[in-house]
Amino acid sequence: MDDGSDCEDNPCTQADVLQTHLKSQIKLNRSNFVIAFVHGWRHDARVGDTNVADLRIYAASIAAFLARRCAIENRYCNTTVTAVYVGWRGARVDETWLRRKLGSPPESFIGKLAAIPETVAAAFTLFDRKPVSEQIAPSVISLLDLVSNTIMLNDGPKENDSRLIIFGHNLGGNTLAVGIKERLIKSIRELTPQTKLKPPIGDLAILLNPASEAANWTVLQRTVQERVSALRAQGHETELFQVDQPPVLISLTSARTWPAGGVRVEDCKLLISDWGKPRFPTLSKYIREHRGEYTSHIKYDWATHDLFPTFRGDFRPGADTLDWLAFDLEGRGEMGHDCLDYSQGKGSALGLFLHGLANIVRVLPFQNTEVEYTRTIGHLDPRRPVSGFLVGSIYESPRPFGTTHEMEIEWPGNEKQPDLGKRPIYRKISELAYSECASIQGWLTSVRTEHKGRGWDSAGGIKRTPIDSKLDSQFRHGLLHSGMRAITHPNDPLWNVRALDTALSHHGGYVTKPLVCSLSQFVMDDITLSSHAVSAK
């Protein structure tokens, strides 16, 4: 093809058709807002795949958000939204066929029992599918480069509102992490102060519950540390990343435990004063009662927390989960994450069995204990220092690698809205309740400026946030009540986010209106716009 306008004389690929579509929008003087989705394990591109439906909801939601911005702010009024589903053979077992043949209702108890054979049949394909997710990485990155280069052509609108936001879920997140890792390492090594680190591809890449070794992230953190050390050795006193540096890569994982550093016996003693009253009422309530959003019944991504390490030869996370199930069954919370009196728990035969099994599994010989290769990106937390209390700690982590941020969503009136908090209904997305997603121009620069030094909070310490005053999405730099300082600089563009269950509740819980809005805002709005520019507008 000469210009990608037709395929009459040459073989036509799907990439050619996509490029033709994007170029046609530019010829019409329209901008392109592209959302790409790389699916993961146990999924593919066949009709009826749930990940295809996920992308449709994301794309429709973004189209509704942009329409609101056009009506209110006169932005994105001449923009076409395009969804790109990057399909590969992530499913070796046709679970849909198995489910259809079994014929049991999926929501019933019998249906859940009937789903066990298909789950077991698919589980062992992780060994095979993960290498494939890495093998296709160069081709996927090549396609995304083609999209990025096409939508940013100079012959487009004068004010080019073209954007490319990329999502990778599960093994799709591994594909992106592997594909852009070397590119990011090179960019960091060549970065000079007073210049921004550019995204490795498009405007932003987001890894959703990525099934990828933590080493794919820690290598980036070490590269940043090496670059900072090299600049200081050369006499540079300016910070490597400036206050207007936006994030270029975000990993978002449904975390299992809170606080990230765990709770020690000494912490429990310090929570209560000599008069038996809590010194830190809110924190004490969360930990001692183990209620609220930090409940022992927290929904988390078991696939990346339990299953992934097991297949990498590390059975300790699975053993911890067995203990957690036993403690929960006995009404004793979870040891190491609360201050309950375990002597008052109700023992049971099943609980004793689970505890015993956990103890056996935990000490099995010849395990792989190299956590950066057995734990996934979002389930490797920095190691808590031996000194310091959970609140107001000034101590550095002795192993400052792993998760860097936290995210939660505070619901109005401290109550979850069941409609907006659940998976959106596609036909309702254009309604006001679903299309309203507040503009957050300049919020990141603002909070970084207000919170000098390490550790910022988008809520500013109160239960409201400039990110979205209606849904109260909240990001924190550093880990709340973890007993340690933030391990990265406040302006660092690599965000490894632990999502609490109000924001991302389980493996596939990324399709909720508040979360779609929060993630889209990173690209729809200029979050590092200076306060002067915001006020001028």
> From CA 363, how far away is CA 366, in angstroms rounded?
9
489 in any annotated domain: no
**Backbone φ/ψ region at 160: left (φ over 0), alpha (ψ -120 to 50), beta:** beta
Confidence of residue 7 (pLDDT cuts 50, 70, 90): low
> From CA 474, how far away is CA 461, in angstroms rounded?
10
Residue 35 pairs with which residues in a beta bridge?
Answer: 83, 165
> From CA 145, how far away is CA 127, in angstroms rounded?
29
Residues 278 and 206 in one domain: no
Residue 213 pairs with which residues in a beta bridge?
Answer: 376
> From CA 376, how far away is CA 358, in angstroms rounded?
21
475 in any annotated domain: no
Q: Of the candidates 336, 367, 398, which is a domain's last residue?
A: 367
Residues 359 and 226 in one domain: no
Residues 208 and 269 in one domain: no
Q: Percent of the chain scored above 90 by pLDDT?
A: 50
Residues 55 and 80 in one domain: yes
pLDDT, tens digit, 9 for 90 and up, residues 221-277: 999 999 999 999 998 888 899 999 999 999 999 998 778 888 887 887 777 766 666
Confidence of residue 293 (pLDDT cuts 50, 70, 90): very low
456 in any annotated domain: no
Q: Tokens 């999924």 sit at which residue?
A: 43
> From CA 43, how far away is CA 83, in angstroms rounded?
17
Question: At residue 241, what are phi and psi to the nearest 5 degrees?
Answer: -110, 135
Do the beta carbons of residue 158 and residue 30 sit within 8 Å? no
Over residues 344-370, mean pLDDT: 86
Do the beta carbons of residue 208 and residue 35 sit within 8 Å? no
Residues 136 and 206 in one domain: yes
Confidence of residue 452 (pLDDT cuts 50, 70, 90): confident
> From CA 190, how far away is CA 197, in angstroms rounded?
10
141 in any annotated domain: yes
Confidence of residue 531 (pLDDT cuts 50, 70, 90): low
Residues 236 and 293 in one domain: no
CA 242-244-250 angle, to 5 degrees, is 95
pLDDT, tens digit, 9 for 90 and up, residues 145-196: 999 999 987 544 445 789 999 999 999 999 999 999 999 999 999 999 989 9
Domain count for the chain: 2
pLDDT at position 341, please?
Answer: 60
Do the beta carbons of residue 85 and residue 55 sit within 8 Å? yes
Residues 93 and 217 in one domain: yes
Residue type, 357: L
Query: Taking Cα atoms as reference points, which of 498, 336, 478 lies closest to residue 396?
Result: 478
Residues 188 and 269 in one domain: no
**Backbone φ/ψ region at 334: left (φ over 0), alpha (ψ -120 to 50), beta:** beta
Neighbouring residues of 36: CB distance < 8 A, sequence distance ≥ 6: 83, 84, 85, 86, 144, 147, 164, 165, 166, 167, 202
493 in any annotated domain: no
pLDDT, tens digit, 9 for 90 and up, residues 105-123: 444 444 444 455 556 666 6
Residue type, 430: S
The per-residue DSSP string of 343-375 comes to: GGS---HHHHHHHHHHHHHHT-TT----HHHHS
Residue 162 pairs with which residues in a beta bridge?
Answer: none
Confidence of residue 286 (pLDDT cuts 50, 70, 90): low
Confidence of residue 26 (pLDDT cuts 50, 70, 90): very high
326 in any annotated domain: yes
Over residues 15-44, mean pLDDT: 94
pLDDT at position 414, please?
Answer: 43
pLDDT at position 289, please?
Answer: 47
> From CA 43, how far away is CA 52, in angstroms rounded?
9
pLDDT at position 102, please?
Answer: 56
> From CA 74, how far away is CA 146, in angstroms rounded?
29
Residues 226 and 350 in one domain: no
The winner for highest mean pLDDT among 347-361, 367-381, 414-428, 519-533 is: 367-381
461 in any annotated domain: no
Residues 233 and 336 in one domain: no
pLDDT, tens digit, 9 for 90 and up, residues 460-501: 643 344 444 444 578 999 998 888 999 999 999 999 999 987
Q: Of the candidates 367, 382, 399, which is a domain's last residue?
A: 367
Classified as helix, coil or strand, 376 is: strand
349 in any annotated domain: yes
pLDDT at position 499, please?
Answer: 92
Inform me whether the pLDDT recorded for 348 exceeds 80: no
Q: What is the mean pLDDT of the chain?
A: 83
* Residue 221 DSSP label: H
CA 288-318-497 angle, to 5 degrees, is 65
Residues 186 and 135 in one domain: yes
Residues 222 and 330 in one domain: no
Domain that holds residue 285: 265-297+315-367
> From CA 420, how far away is CA 169, in angstroms rounded?
22
Residue 165 pairs with which residues in a beta bridge?
Answer: 35, 204
